[in-house]
Amino acid sequence: MDSAGTLSAHLWNGHDITATGSIIPLNSWTHIGYTYSYSNGLRLYINGNLYSFTGSFIFTASGVPMHMILGSDGGGTNCAPGYGGPFTGALDEFYLHTREITASEVQKLANP
């Protein structure tokens, strides 16, 4: 999330690949889902609906330690300046899958 409240997810392919979302409303639960596969690229879902996508690309940082940062920009050590600051909300039911889940699976997670 950047300083304006806009969602973003980043992967690397020799340069930054970004899927950008909307501004998340304050004081309201919002379901956010990101998926990645070589054939579909990064996909961003908001409340179970596909919001944006990057198209196909190969994630090239494999084989090196990877960091996943939720709710912060990493204190300036893992993300470029301007990606936002600490998230002052709550996270609930975080899932990490070993495969790209389908749009219908994201929809079921967003609307149990």
Q: Residue-wise pLDDT tens for the chain (112 aa)? A: 666 667 777 777 777 788 888 888 878 888 999 998 889 989 999 999 999 999 888 877 666 776 776 765 555 444 444 445 566 677 888 899 989 999 999 999 999 7
- As given in the structure block, the two tokens for residue 70 are 């939720």
Q: For the chain, which residues make up each domain, given as ranges?
A: 6-110
- As given in the structure block, the two tokens for residue 35 are 């998926």
CA angle at 53 for the pair 104 and 20, rounded to the nearest 5°: 115
pTM value is 0.77
| CA dist., res. 11 & res. 13, Å (int) | 7
| CA dist., res. 77 & res. 87, Å (int) | 16
